Homo-oligomer: A and B are copies of this chain.
């Protein structure tokens, strides 16, 4: 058979340990910074593997983490998969019933947990759901008092007796190496498994210029949690490149981030938009030298153009806007400029860079309308984005219903509604489940939200479609006003604002003032909750103006 050695993570670990033995891994803890080298890291990973093996963990067993971003968590990233087990990263922000569902579904045998998160996990423990769990390991050198988890040990004791060499197995490429559940924004979280090969391919795809452009000289700080799709794969990519790691530890504040950038010389960091809004606010008020920073990867939700512009103009930092999914390991598109575009006027460059970007080499995509036809790439027509490729899973873990719904052959139907412009840049218009279908036309809830949130008196806003007999659905806006806002005046202004910018029939039929937009454990707007509350048309009874229907456009 024509072929070569299997694609597994192990050679990345080997290379970093041997070619970059002195490069550092730095980790923020409650007590200050911890730091060690790849050479020590390699030894500790081997000890972890030995300890797991002694604990009876073998091929394909699931080992879970319930942790923030730090060096011990990073040790599980190579230790668990390279000894043949499967690393399941649990989002500790999930509600208890989701944690229970996930642990039971994955049948985790060991759970590594941060001291600060132990109470949360202890609260979620349920005898039935946790039946498979044989022990807890606290990520520290001792177990805190009254930890409420049993049997329990601390990480340093767990690995203490193992040698710092391990006889790593040659694993098959389809060996399950990782596991992560989707955020549950549109329904129950769905389990996604990553094979050794998928993680290998994703790592290789993130390194080049078309990906995140990572080299040995980089100092990389993933702010995106390591329980979110492996911190977007950065711990693997950073190791493959031989770059320096900086982990911001539990609940970092903007000040913590600014300090780490300055003190460790961070060149690249990554996280969701709110993190960077927070950092910009902090930098407005404080002196901090972030001049080492070259680029920030922003993804998870749309990067506002203003954030991209401010980092560029005020700090000479390139924002790389990226789109991805748990199902895609996760990186799918990155909004790089194409050759020649650096000569465009600044605002046009920002426009491109605020889109979700260009598909990475190795992937394929199509954008499909309701009839299953591909839509033209004109930046106007939209349809659902379908993707496939070597780091896109072809099925969910034990979810035949979701497989049925989300796949067409080997194409993953992303559930994201997008346009593609003439240059091939993807722009997410909405979620398929959030888009408002009115009179046979589509209204983008995301575009309405962006426009409304630009108003000075609005703190947060979300728009959902509520059922309507004649028009199927009509938009309703839910607004969190800023303190002291005049609600009646604001309502009128918002409707006027939307009517000014969009077709008249996009204007919400009702504006409801609320105290907070419900959010998922990932911090995304949880429209499910609002939709459940407003699942009949009573709210907009008699408010939908006949004459402004889409058919009149």
**Chain B CB within 10 Å — which of A2, A170, A213, A364 has the most?**
A2
Contact of A214 among B197, B208, B362 (CB under 8 A): B208
Q: Could you tell me if B390 and A200 are in contact, using CB atoms closer than 8 angstroms?
A: yes
Q: Could you tell me if A4 and B209 are in contact, using CB atoms closer than 8 angstroms?
A: no
Q: Assuming A18-B424, A207-B207, is B339 touching A216 (CB within 8 A)?
A: yes
CB within 8 Å of B: which of A1-48? 1-7, 10-12, 14-15, 18-20, 23
Task: Name the B residues within 8 Å of A511 (CB-CB).
Answer: none
Q: Could you tell me if A19 and B358 are in contact, using CB atoms closer than 8 angstroms?
A: yes
Q: Assuming A3-B174, A216-B339, is B361 touching A12 (CB within 8 A)?
A: yes
Q: Judge if A193 is at the interface, Cβ distance under 8 Å.
A: yes
A209 vs B218: C-alpha distance when bound (angstroms): 11
A37-80 vs B: 1/0 string, CB under 8 Å? 00000000000000000000000000000000000000000000
CB distance from A297 to the nearest CB of B (A): 16
Contact of A338 among B15, B216, B364 (CB under 8 A): B216
Query: In the complex, what residue of chain B is closest to A391 when comparing beta carbons?
Result: B4
Q: Judge if A240 is at the interface, Cβ distance under 8 Å.
A: yes
Task: Name the B residues within 8 Å of A217 (CB-CB).
Answer: 339
Q: Judge if A394 is at the interface, Cβ distance under 8 Å.
A: yes
Q: Could you tell me if A12 and B176 are in contact, using CB atoms closer than 8 angstroms?
A: no
What does DSSP make chain A's interface, helix, strand, loop or mixed? loop
Q: Judge if A308 is at the interface, Cβ distance under 8 Å.
A: no
Task: Name the B residues within 8 Å of A193 (CB-CB).
Answer: 2
Q: Assuming A194-B2, A361-B15, is B209 touching A216 (CB within 8 A)?
A: yes
Q: Could you tell me if A201 and B7 are in contact, using CB atoms closer than 8 angstroms?
A: yes
A6 vs B363: C-alpha distance when bound (angstroms): 10
Q: Which residues of A contact B (CB under 8 A)?
A: 1-7, 10-12, 14-15, 18-20, 23, 170, 174-176, 193-195, 197-198, 200-201, 203-205, 207-210, 213-217, 240-242, 336, 338-339, 358-359, 361-364, 377, 388-394, 410, 423-424
For the complex of A and B, the 8 pairs showing the least CB-CB separation, nearest first, are A209-B215, A207-B208, A204-B204, A19-B424, A217-B339, A240-B361, A2-B195, A2-B193
